[in-house]
Structure 1
Amino acid sequence: METDKWIEEGYKMAMEYAPKIVMAILIWIIGNIIFSRILKIVKKIMEKRDYDISLRKFLANMFYWTFKIILILVVLGTLGIETTSFAAVLASVGLAVGLALQGSLSNFAGGVLILIFKPFKIGDWIEAQGLSGTVKEIGIINTTLNTFGNQLAIIPNGKLSNDNIVNYSAEETRRENITAGISYDSDIKKAKEILLDIVTSNEKVLKTPEPQVMVAELADSSVNLSLRYWATNANFWDCRWYVIEEMKHRFDAEGIEIPYPHQVEIQKQG
């Protein structure tokens, strides 16, 4: 009799839990199949968009473990196990870690955004956070620049992603604007012709768009002319240095005066 009772209880438990176990197994198998296909699609999208390799691995791992945790909670719930406490513990742990690593997480999130949206790439010359230089490395936490003086500058990605960034290498060409001050007694028309001749005779200065010279300001002690021209990034600084030096030589040769501050000393005899 006792044996029959145990068999009956075992049969009831089997009938009660067998469907749940079967359902949990099916959810686990089907969930993993669907997830593996989704993960492959996500990886292909990241490869197609040329995401950084380290970012690809990180996002894939994060996606993987997030799904696994969710799938495990769903399976446990299907078996009738209370998952509210598990979710509460995970939320508490996540909140504690987030508060402890608030600054680092900000830099981490900034690094992810930079690697995804790519406002600059390695080799670009950028200006940000009061620094300018060539991008040497883009990490998850920091971005490293080589400055003009060959110093190594490390900028946290949190600040970098939330502030203005000027990327001088994003476009193939750049426009320069050089201000040339001449005295009020000098011939404005002649000075403009000299400036235009300097840039149009230089092969490195682009002919299109055309260079321009205009009167920008009637200042206190000078007439300020604005010389604007375009050059490729590779030739930009060579053109600038050439124009400034040649402007001084040509103005001196043609009698165009460049005003400079004068100090007048007045002596009073008693």
Structure 2
Amino acid sequence: MLPAILLGILAVTCCYFVARPLSYLLLKPLGYVSESRLLHLVVRRFISTLIILFGLYIFLRLAGLTEFAVAVMSGTGLLGLILGFAFKDIAENFISSLLLSVQRPFRIDDVIEVNGHLGVVKKVTARATTLVDFDGNHIQIPNATVYKNTIKNLTANPKMRGSFTLGIGYDNDTKSAQQLALTIIGNQNAVLNDPTPQVLINDLGSATLNFTIYFWVNSEEHSVLKVASQLMRELINEFTEHGISMPDDARERVLLNSQGEDIYPAKSESRQTGNPPSSAKKPHTSQVTASSVDDVSSDTGEIREQAEKSRDPEQGSNII
């Protein structure tokens, strides 16, 4: 009996020391299939555990405890089943982490939107995905939530479309206004030529004919919001200079005297032309000089820099 027990102890010891290098050796082919760090870690530990359990089983068999060995194995399976039900949410989150690590729907520093949260991916651990939003806040989203919800990746395609609406009076030449708007948009260096910008009529308002201006920018280099702001200012200046009215889409009550004349003709003139009275007319510049051009650079780089310098809200290494 004693030699068998010693032989069993030797088997357990050998399995323990062989488990780690053997798991690395068996894991090598997996490196050609997937680069997932988490998957490699899980498979490596699973192989190591199986090797150690095999050594323990040999020890129990040599010690004459075959029935006990079977009971231990059965009990281990039952215990695993019980723990699986007890920690269902944790298990679901871990499996989601494993799937995210394998499939990689996004990368570190990508700008994504998940479950209503928009930000730069700072870190993905076995528990959660950490985003840094454009207000500088850290947002931790459980990986189960990330995997089950729609993921909007704004970095996979750097080209991003922006749009805004601008209304002109019905007394204007619509075609000329569209051509002028396209010329102004085309002169903006931040706007891409492919896809081409568009100026389309989308609504007939009570006082204005409304255009929707569509344009594309490289979101890695320029901010859509900043480019839209500059385009709106330039369009207003150029439309005003070319006499294209932009009346307020509001209803005004006109007061007439007994002869049927407008009591406030200045306001009536302003309403018809879409411009303020001459006495209140503000000066404007027809051309935008280099010194007055807005900074239209993207904020993504700054947020990435903040994310890199900020403290990690959660310990753990990246799994993607």
| Structure 2 match to 1:13 | none
* Corresponding residue for residue 36 of structure 2: 51
The alignment covers a number of residue pairs equal to 240
Aligned to 2:227: 239
Unpaired stretches in structure 1, ≥5 consecutive residues = 1-9, 11-16
1:185, distance to aligned residue in structure 2 (A): 3.2
Q: In 2, are the aligned partners of 1:110 and 1:141 still within 8 Å (CA)?
A: no
Query: Which residue is 2:134 aligned to?
Result: 148
Distance 2:179 2:115 in 1: 40
Residue number in structure 2 paired with 1:202: 188
- Kindly state the Cα deviation for residue 170 of structure 1 after the two structures are TM-superposed: 1.0
- 1:157 and 2:143 matched: yes
1:89 aligns with 2:72: no
Alpha carbons of structure 1 residues 266 and 231: separation in structure 2 relative to 1, 3 Å? closer
**Identity level (%):** 26
Taking structure 2 as the reference length, the TM-score comes to 0.62
SS in 2 for 1:154: strand
3-state DSSP of counterpart to 2:74: helix
Q: Is the 8 A contact 1:174 1:236 kept in 2?
A: no
Kindly report which structure 2 residues correspond to 1:57-136, keeping only aligned pairs within 5 A, or say none: 58-65=41-48, 67-68=50-51, 71=54, 81-82=66-67, 84-136=70-122
Task: Tell me the TM-score normalized by structure 1.
Answer: 0.72
Identify the match of residue 226 of structure 1 among 184, 202, 212.
Answer: 212
Q: Residue 259 and residue 77 in structure 1: after superposition, are their counterparts in 2 closer, same or farther (change >3 A)?
A: farther
1:169 CA displacement: 0.8
For residue 246 of structure 1, report the CA deviation from its aligned partner: 1.8
Partner SS for 1:199: helix
With a CA cutoff of 8 Å and minimum separation of 6, indicate the structure with the bigger relative contact order: 2
* Partner of residue 38, structure 1: 26
**AA at the equivalent of 1:232:** N
Shift of 1:261: 4.3
**What is the DSSP-based 3-state SS (H/G/I as helix, E as strand, rest coil) of the residue aligned with 1:213?**
strand
Q: CA RMSD in A?
A: 3.6
How far is 1:71 from its partner? Answer: 4.2
Alignment CA distance shift 1:37-1:50 (3 Å): closer
2:84–2:91 contact (8 Å) kept in structure 1: yes
1:34–1:108 distance in 2 versus 1, CA, 3 Å:
closer
**What's the offset of the Cα at 1:218?**
3.2
Correspondence for 1:3: none
- In structure 2, C-alpha distance between the alignment counterparts of 1:97 and 1:266, rounded to whole Å: 78
More helix by share: 1
* TM superposition shift of 1:226: 2.7
Counterparts in 2 of 1:119 and 1:219: CA distance versus 1, 3 Å: farther
Distance in structure 2 (CA, Å) of the matches to 1:261 and 1:86: 80
CA-CA distance at 1:222 after TM superposition: 3.7
Distance (whole Å) between structure 2 residues aligned to residue 220 and residue 263 of structure 1: 8
> Could you say which residue in structure 2 is the equivalent of 1:256?
244
Tell me if structure 1 keeps the 8 A contact 2:201–2:212.
Answer: yes
Distance in 2 of aligned mates of 1:111 and 1:133: 19
* One-letter code aligned to 1:93: L
Q: 1:114 offset after TM fit, Å?
A: 1.7
Counterpart residue identity of residue 235, structure 1: H
8 Å Cα contact 2:122/2:132 also seen in 1: yes
Contact 2:186 2:193 in 1 (8 A): yes
Gap regions ≥5 residues in structure 2: 256-320
